Structure 1
Amino acid sequence: MDLPEILNRLQLSGETDAPSPSLLPGLPVAKVLSQIQELLQDEKTSKTKEDVLQDTMRLFESADSQWLFSNCCHSEGSDLGKVYVDFTGVLVQYAALPHCETESEELSESWCSIIPGKACTVAGVLLRLVRRLGAANVVLPCSSTADPVRSLLCKLLPPVFVFCAAHMQGLPWTNVQSELAARELLAASVQTAGCETLTELLCGKSSDDDDEGILGAVLELLKPEMKKETWKLNQATKHVFSWTLIQPAAALRQFNRAHVLYHALFNHLYTPEAHLIQAVLPCLLDLLSVLEKPPQKAGDPRKATRYDEVLRLVLTHMEMEHKIPLRRVYARNIPPFIERLGIVIVRHLKRLERVIVGYLEVYDGPEEVARLYTLQALENTIQHAWPRMASRLDVLVKSLLRLIYDVSTDCSPTPQAVREDLLQRAVHCLILLHHCCDQELRTALAGVHRTCPVTRVLECIEKVQQDTQ
């Protein structure tokens, strides 16, 4: 299929007809791209958007490089770069998630089934465009074209990267096909940019001071959607931001970019909005892996780090927090921090113990999210800080026994599966405490049979005692 036929299928009109792709058609590429944008944005067009995109793929496969990119050489084509950037933005928007008012507003099944197909098609169009840009540096005869074409590529790569990151992470709006398409597009982008790795694409080549990579441009693209007023609107943004942070550690350290991001995220910890806290804490954990050495491997374990700064503030807020949604979010994010801190969690045991005991006392709804994650936090704490558990055994055992009794006797609408999960985790915590403090735990449990008539409680204690034997 030659170029005039493709243009005809797209229902575009030119001033003259061209007999072959080797001759420039009367319709400039800028006008073609603008009209394709209009077709993609027009709900009344007679062609389906999928048909338009399929024809656009053929356009980038068949059109001559001179026609596609040569105007980049000339002053009259100075706006062509903007046309391509706008065109790429419309493509990305076609496969974007619908805006949501809150993070808890989940995508409907219909959207989750529609988006992967759209993403595959958009990835196909962008893949062909990126490859043609890469070939244009070699094919075009005009030597002055190479730099303008590369400049155009650099403008397109940041939105292409953001698109790939949003559709390749195994999220609810992706499937195997869309993830593979996004990964193929990202790999082609790395190759076309002349880079060997994704990190090099983001950070630039260390040997070339003029090549800083695309990280700064990517962060600028994400910045408008990461503000307090807008972060809820696009569910993909936080995943893209978090995934990007862990790829280019060296570039984030350079020019104190990581420090700027850290302070911006840290300040958000003072917000009372549960959905914002849920977005910020995982990002902070990823960012801390860039800023700090792993705490358990630090040369001087007594030296406080930003891990301690964040956890200290979070535990302070947890201790005072009474709103159930916020308690759930805090409880969900504490276990990863404990895992990351390792043995260094001993610095925070006094406050952490108060938080664990306080959260285990409060019923937080049928799903018991806060109490389940609090038990996970306790498990992690015992495993990492077991030498310090003996002095806290009485408080922890009383709290766990109270929880077992409450769950075994309450009349709440909690599903049976959730009750069993709570009981099993509580029993596991007691078993872990047994491995730390064998004789002390036997003594603490000795009087339970004489004072508690509840069968389910006694069964749980029996499991612990069987392990101790």
Structure 2
Amino acid sequence: MKRPAGGSEAASLTPVVFGFQEQAWTSSSSRDGARRLQVALLKAGGWKDSAHLLMGGKEEDHRGILGGVTRPSLSPHLHRLLPPSLLLNDDYRPENCMLGVRCLHHIVLHTAAADLRHFNQAEVVYQALFKHLYTNQAAVIQLTKSPSSPDLPPSRRKPCRHDDVLRLVLTHMEAEHKVALRRVYASALPLYVDRMGVAVCRHLQRVERVVLGYLQISDPPEETSRLKVLDALQKTIKLRLLRMEARADALLLRLLRLLVDVSSDRQLGESVRQELMDQTAASIRLLDACSHGRVQVSHLSPSEGWSLS
């Protein structure tokens, strides 16, 4: 018989709903008991499998425990889902905290924006996630990277919460020395530049300081920080901000220095070295276009077999 619509989603929920997973709140005996309970429920209700039990089928007399769930579907259940998610989000154990962040993320993705704003629930979720930007747990911060908000256009000029988040991220980036956190912040920066669009001009001076600082420090073996910062720089230049022309000289000097450092660093893998040099060259070409051809560089390090032209 054909599996009901949404069966795959329900099947993925089964270990969580019935307590099959190895978690801090489960034990071998509790997991065995959960499996026995599932078998008994399936037999008592005449359900074929766990997905059928949760979601039901097309038959009127076999309505699932969760009913017919469609997306976005969580609005009627916010009063039950938000409290435990917020409690997990506030937990002192990183693994529980990360689970709470994922729950909140899932709620935001599958709840209508108007429903989240009702009773100020959107503000509650925002404040719960914003505070994680102050933690020193790289894995937690990684989960709070720039979201996509379809109800706000990327080119919105009026200062908003994205400014607050980017301002805090840039503050942490300037002072951070831990490699893991530097990689997380550098990976998030291009997302925020994309999200803010031309509104990033409000933070251009600090973005420049961060870019110059991160390009100066090597991040072996994958050079994640440098590559992500180069990505953020290119996205910023492509916005065609008039202020970028005034910053071209300082950026050009750092990029040229980066080419020299990379070309002489024999500890770098060949693929990583080539990617760094290609992205640096792309950044210089964009700077040249941004400054109306003032950056007159046709070939750099010809022995490496590449050029800017």
Per the normalisation by structure 1, the TM-score is: 0.53
| 1:298-346 deviation per Cα after TM superposition (whole angstroms, max 9, x unaligned) | 3xx2x31111111111111111111111111100111111001111111
Give me the whole-angstrom Cα distance separating, in 1, the residues matched to 2:59 and 2:121. 30
Q: Secondary structure at the match of 2:95?
A: coil
What are structure 2's unaligned runs of at least 5 residues? 1-17, 19-27
Q: Secondary structure at the match of 2:220?
A: coil
What are structure 1's unaligned runs of at least 5 residues? 1-32, 44-48, 63-120, 139-152, 158-187, 191-196, 204-212
How do 1:104-115 residues align onto structure 2 when only pairs under 5 Å count? none
**Contact 2:154/2:194 (<8 A) preserved:** no
1:353 aligned residue: 208
Q: Which amino acid aligns with 1:214?
A: H
> Which has a greater percent of helix?
1
1:42 aligned residue: 32
**Contact 1:271/1:277 (<8 A) preserved:** yes
How do 1:220-369 residues align onto structure 2 when only pairs under 5 Å count? 220-233=83-96, 238-248=101-111, 249-282=113-146, 285-286=147-148, 289=149, 293-296=152-155, 298=156, 301=157, 303-369=158-224
1:425 to 267, 274, 279: 279
Bigger mean CA offset, 363-372 vs 51-60: 51-60
RMSD over equivalenced CA pairs, Å? 3.3
Bigger mean CA offset, 335-344 vs 378-387: 378-387
Distance change in 2, residues 1:385/1:263 (3 Å): farther
**Contact 1:346/1:385 (<8 A) preserved:** no
2:81 aligned residue: 218
Larger radius of gyration: 1
| 1:386-418 deviation per Cα after TM superposition (whole angstroms, max 9, x unaligned) | 433211111111111111111110133x32211
How do 1:57-206 residues align onto structure 2 when only pairs under 5 Å count? 57-61=42-46, 124-131=49-56, 135=60, 157=66, 189-190=68-69, 197-199=70-72, 201-203=73-75
Give me the whole-angstrom Cα distance separating, in 1, the residues matched to 2:257 and 2:163. 30
| 1:10-60 deviation per Cα after TM superposition (whole angstroms, max 9, x unaligned) | xxxxxxxxxxxxxxxxxxxxxxx9xxxx997339xxxxx6x9857754543
Distance change in 2, residues 1:232/1:134 (3 Å): farther
Q: How many residues align?
A: 281
2:293 aligned residue: 439
**Contact 2:173/2:185 (<8 A) preserved:** yes
**Contact 2:88/2:100 (<8 A) preserved:** yes
Give me the whole-angstrom Cα distance separating, in 1, the residues matched to 2:170 and 2:31. 48
Per the normalisation by structure 2, the TM-score is: 0.78
- Which structure 1 residue ranges, 4+ long, deviate > 4 Å from structure 2? 51-56, 233-237
Q: Secondary structure at the match of 1:232?
A: helix
Distance change in 2, residues 1:134/1:385 (3 Å): farther
Q: Which amino acid aligns with 2:244?
A: M
**Contact 1:238/1:279 (<8 A) preserved:** yes
Q: Secondary structure at the match of 1:189?
A: coil
Give me the whole-angstrom Cα distance separating, in 2, the residues matched to 1:202 and 1:382. 40
1:403 to 254, 258, 273: 258
Give me the whole-angstrom Cα distance separating, in 2, the residues matched to 1:440 and 1:425. 20
Give me the whole-angstrom Cα distance separating, in 2, the residues matched to 1:39 and 1:126. 24
Give me the whole-angstrom Cα distance separating, in 2, the residues matched to 1:129 and 1:356. 50
* TM-superposed deviation, 1:227: 2.3
Bigger mean CA offset, 231-240 vs 253-262: 231-240
Distance change in 2, residues 1:41/1:268 (3 Å): closer
**Contact 1:307/1:341 (<8 A) preserved:** yes
Q: Secondary structure at the match of 2:271?
A: helix
Give me the whole-angstrom Cα distance separating, in 2, the residues matched to 1:398 and 1:353. 13
Q: Secondary structure at the match of 1:358?
A: helix
Bigger mean CA offset, 416-425 vs 354-363: 416-425
